[in-house]
Structure 1
Amino acid sequence: MPEVPPSRTAVQAPTAPERGGRTTAGPAPANYAAHLAAKALREGWGQRPAFHTPERSWTHGEVHALAASAASVLAGQGVRPGDRILIAMGDGIAWVTAFLGAARLGAVAVPVNPDLIPEEHAFMADDCRARLVVADERLIDRFDRRAALTGERLMRLAASAPSGPAAEVTGDTPLYAQYTSGTTGTPKAALHRHADPLLYQRAAGDGVVGVRPDDVTLSISKLFFAYGLGNALVFPLFSGSSAVLLPHRPAPAEIAEAVARHGVTLLYGVPSAYANMAAECPPAAFSSVRLAVSAGESLSTALGARTRELLGAPVLDQLGSTEVGHAFCSNTAWRNEPGTIGRPLPGYEIVLRDESGAPVAQGRGEIWVRGASVMAEYLGRPEQTSLALRGGWLRTGDLAEHVDGGALKHCGRNDDMEMVGGITVSPLEIERVLAEHPAVSEVAVAVIADEHGARKLRAFVVPGREADPAELENELIALARRRLAAYKVPRSVELRPRLPRTPTGKLRRFAVREGRW
């Protein structure tokens, strides 16, 4: 591998300062669940709320007691240390109990999206070789060939079960495996260890938002998603704070209601969620929010401004991945540079490289990252693991360039690029310009074949308010002509009620290219 020269292509973040309250510094965790329980006891968090669900609130003490009992229940179902437990449930206390119970037992939790189709659930259960499935009642029949429990039954059994002892593990023992979003192909399960959550708590919980015991979190992104797992499970349990858990994907009005009812202070979402909120929600509902974070896709400068105006709070754009566990590059509460994804977080090093793997001193390059929370492997996929992990570095597939001052600007992904007249074009650059129009809520650009088979750029636009299609098309093309080179100007604009997205909110570029959804 080429050596990295001492230049700004390799940026090491400073050690996390002690900001925003008590830090999580202490002995390195062994068993993740036991470490959290001991910390809650030591810090006196037993009676503090940890999770707010539609039924009731649950304290830190109750959560850790349930996890200890759930470990006994899972062991009674034949689960042993190292076995995989597939979790297919909406967010709620049963999800938390299953995950922490698996951790305490020394098993490997495998959280998956409950809204997948039966074939996708069957694939994941087979792919990870699940010993047990814990699922919502409506899904349980999908796993009839496997041992399975409903979340409701797990909770019922845990209520009367004895506390199970914590398995003796090391920080490198597998803790959970989380599937990638599948935007570019078959999902792969990134395997993480018991030590990893503390690492990205220090980087993104402490280092980005300075999470405090009095914070209330709402993560629109769900727990099965790496982003949501950190936001709504890891950060609250490590900090003594609380999180609102909603079992389904909430509509904008539901988000606003939950924020107002619980006094949410930290809001996490993806750009499309913020776009919908800005179009539909009143600002008054968000008066309690002190910080918002955006991830999953690049946040355009225009949408960031609309979101800040809605929330009356800073919006921090960041970049993370399932393979790293959470964010590794971010703006922070103390240093926010809109239009960028910020700088490397404490504990992570970033290098921009070209297609040959050589460092890029100037201009655009692929982000390679290394840090202690980078996955151990893709579960059962050694060839794909070796392609992603190179000498301790993870190839992310994300493209970026440095801006003045050293922050990074996200430039899309390797597989997002379009070819126009033999010239490679980033659709993200065009989308950022079109998103500045006040009538645009969301936009995606792709090369589409016209009725004659000629391939031309087309912009698919979700309007943020009622707009005349012909007028909006003319205005957007005129805007693009003023701001972009001629070959980057879309030849047509098509209004759509929505864009094709994954369950985690990421744009399905391949579907946009087909023009049909």
Structure 2
Amino acid sequence: MTAYYDDKPWLRTYPEWFSPDFTAHKESVLAKFDKAVEKNPDAPCIYYFDTVYSFSQVKKMASAFAAALAESGLGQGDRMLFVLQNVPQAVIGALAVWMRGGIVVPVNPMYTTKDLNHLLSDSGATGVFCEDTLYEKTVKAAAGQRPVITTSPLDLLGAGDSVPEQLQSAKKTLFDETSDFMALIEKFGDQTIELISPAPEDLAYLVYTSGTTGPPKGAMISHANIHHNCLVYESTARMDGTDVVLGIAPMFHITGIVAHLAIAFHMGIPMVLFNRFDALDVLRLIEKHRVTFTVASITVYIALLNHPKLKSFNISHFKKAYSGGAPVSPSTVEKFQEAMGLTIYNVYGLTESASPATIAPLGKNGPVDEESGALSVGLIIPGIEAWVVDVDNPETVLHPGEEGELVLRGPSIISGYWQKPEETANAIKDGRFHTGDVAKIDAEGWCYIVDRKKDLINVSGFKVWPRDVEDVLYQHPGVKEAAVVGVPDSYRGETVKAFVSLSDDFIGKTTPQELIAFCKERLAAYKYPRIVEIIDDVPKTTTGKMLRRELRDR
């Protein structure tokens, strides 16, 4: 069946306006930024709440910061750890590191000192750039003798602009043993240094995987990986110079890196940043800055949908809304269409694929699988080869519509994990990345993610994929979120357990027994959950992925 995949039927399913012929030309993220500066230096580059920074202003600050990093010894191939929220400093800092030929290591600000110790040791980072509130809390003990630069989310708020509510209690803190970002910008503002232009094949980021199955691994993301997926977003979302990007996904996550920072530079368009997610801030900024495009987790969209002031904002220009991280059910898509006039398009990807691996082209959302009721996550992105192989025998390529492990190869796939040759060899064979995700691709090329291979539930020898059960639960009008896991059972080996959070109107009314009966009518006898537990919220990572392991351990 390799002929089916070699033929790439998904390319024929793309809309007529779409051209799959991508240029072989590769560029670094820094080169794309420099072109944007040259083309339109006074155009807005960053909106930080109500403060505006032009491309030339961002370039000037990045150059000054690069001079400061040069004095501290940062050079070609050196790594620098970033522990920041979605603030302009994360963008300026990345540019400065690339100007020195370095590699950015962005990490979650919620990480503990123990987490940071591991990442500093594994990456070999020579310095840390962090928010001031995190320095004494977690960073100081982990950094050791490494130089630390601190910054405040207040630093780049315009003097005449109002302080947003989420920052009104914030106070900038300076430390004797650290350097201050703003002081460095001022000190090195007039200095010129020799800039190192990274090649497209050079690493731009080490992005650590979420570590849901073990210690995080550093995915080596090159400038070329990012550039390819910027071309994907540009073409499939029909982006142009009038677009405005909402920077809502964390910039320590591959989605925030590619679908916010990099695509804005690639297109020469502004990104809207706002430190941390606040639904009211986001709605106001979507209206004020006329946002058109973003990629976010479904939990973010649900928060906007449920906000009591939603109807008071004009978000009619927000037409290019993509969701990744956790699957979006057909019923959820319908709710957004009815309440907001907003079509949410599915996108699926991994850190190792530098964000999108499949995407629904603008105006053409995927079909619903007749068997499972799941919404397709889109078409395989252009320039990528894909196969579905037998889970137990990966040499066997499966027929269209059969479920197996999704395998990918192409210019957006990483070369490997940082200093992890064994893990790299296990995951990437002959350039083919084995995703660990169970999927199927239909005859027209639409892809459906069934589940994670490791999440398979074995009930009396029968395979049960959690997604199959979750998709049925989402058909119940009272179910807001659902997560299904396997739990030990003396008779069946494992049995199916569902954790469910309810919509407000159904709290106290819908019972576990009702949900079990609902599933029993719609699923095979071995598939329906024998146990349902109603909880307030399904636990998730900061990027919206379900923490099934935490649920199993309850």
| TM-score normalised by length of structure 1 | 0.91
The yes-or-no answer on 1:279 pairing with 2:306 is yes
The aligned counterpart of 1:102 is 97
Segment of structure 1 superposing worse, 251-260 or 371-380: 251-260
Q: What is the correspondence of 1:74-223 to structure 2 with a 5 Å cutoff?
A: 74-141=69-136, 142=139, 143-151=143-151, 153-161=180-188, 162-203=191-232, 205-223=233-251
Secondary structure at 1:181's aligned position in 2? Answer: coil
Q: Aligned partners of 2:451, 2:307: CA distance in 1, in Å? A: 28
Q: For structure 2, which runs of at least 5 residues remain unmatched after alignment?
A: 153-179, 368-374
TM superposition shift of 1:512: 1.6
What is the rounded CA distance, in whole Å, between the counterparts of 1:127 and 1:308 in structure 2?
A: 45
In the TM superposition, residue 264 of structure 1 has moved relative to its aligned partner by 1.7
Identify which range, 133-142 or 8-17, moves more after superposition: 8-17
- Choose 134-143 or 250-259, whichever is displaced more: 250-259
- The offset of 1:405, in angstroms, is 2.7
Q: Does the 8 Å CA contact 2:15/2:364 hold for their aligned counterparts?
A: no
Give the aligned partner of residue 26 of structure 2. Answer: 28
Displacement after TM superposition at 1:54 (Å):
2.9
Once residues 7 and 433 of structure 2 are traced to their aligned partners in structure 1, the CA distance between those partners, rounded to angstroms, is 14
1:359 aligned partner: 397
Deviations 1:336-371 (A, max 9, x none): 214101111111111111132121114101111011
CA distance in 2, matches of 1:39, 1:26: 18
Partner of 2:48: 53
Distance 2:477 2:257 in 1: 33
Provide the rounded CA distance (Å) in 2 between the counterparts of 1:154 and 1:11: 49
Contact in 2 for aligned 1:303/1:436 (Cα 8 Å): no
* C-alpha contact (below 8 Å) 2:6/2:385 kept by paired residues: no
Task: Tell me the distance in 2 between the aligned counterparts of 1:424 and 1:262.
Answer: 49
Shift of the 264–349 alpha-carbon distance from structure 1 to 2, 3 Å rule, reads same
With over 3 angstroms needed to count, the CA separation of the structure-2 counterparts of 1:377 and 1:289, relative to structure 1, is same
User: 2:335 maps to what in 1?
Assistant: 306
2: distance between equivalents of 1:415 and 1:241?
40
**Structure 1 residue runs without a partner (length 5+):** none
Alignment-mate amino acid for residue 114 of structure 2: E
Larger deviation, residues 105-114 vs 496-505 = 496-505
Equivalent residue, structure 2, for 1:294: 323
Shift of the alpha carbon at 1:407?
0.6
Cα distance, 1:9–1:277 mapped onto 2, change above 3 Å: farther
What CA distance in whole angstroms lies between the structure 2 residues aligned with 1:191 and 1:121?
Answer: 18
Secondary structure, counterpart of 2:196 in structure 1: coil
Cα distance, 1:144 vs structure 2 = 3.7
Q: Is the 8 A contact 1:268 1:294 kept in 2?
A: yes
Aligned length: 506
CA contact (8 A) 2:37 2:55 kept: no
- The amino acid of 2:26's aligned partner reads A
Mark the CA change 1:20 to 1:94 in structure 2 (over 3 Å): closer, same or farther: farther
Q: For residue 322 of structure 1, what is the aligned residue in structure 2?
A: 351
Counterpart residue number, 2:2:
5
* Secondary structure of 1:237's aligned partner: helix
CA distance in structure 2 between the aligned counterparts of 1:345 and 1:13, rounded to whole angstroms? 9
Task: Output the amino acid matched with 1:351.
Answer: W
Q: Out of 466-475 and 46-55, give the one that drifted further.
A: 466-475
* 3-state SS of paired residue (1:275): helix
1:375 deviates by 1.1
Percent of paired sites with the same residue: 26
CA–CA separation in structure 2 for the residues paired with 1:441 and 1:119: 34
Residues 431, 13 of structure 1: alpha-carbon distance in 2 compared, 3 angstrom cutoff: closer
Letter in 2 for 1:135: C
Assess, with a 3 A threshold, how the Cα gap between structure 1 residues 99 and 310 changes in structure 2: closer, same or farther: farther
Residues 220-250 of structure 1, C-alpha deviations (whole Å, 9 max, x = no match) = 32111001111210111111211111212x2
Deviations 1:40-60 (A, max 9, x none): 144x32111111113612112
Aligned mates of 2:453, 2:311 — CA distance in 1: 37
Over 3 Å counting, the alpha-carbon distance change for 1:169 and 1:259 in structure 2 is: closer
Shift, 1:502, TM fit: 1.3
Give RMSD over aligned pairs.
Answer: 2.7
Against the structure 1 CA distance between its residues 476 and 117, is the aligned structure 2 distance closer, same or farther, given a 3 Å change threshold? same
Distance 1:167 1:379 in 2: 22
> Residue 177 of structure 2 aligns with which residue?
none
Work out whether 1:39 is the aligned partner of 2:35. Answer: yes
In 2 relative to 1, CA 325–313 (structure 1 residues): closer, same or farther, beyond 3 Å?
same
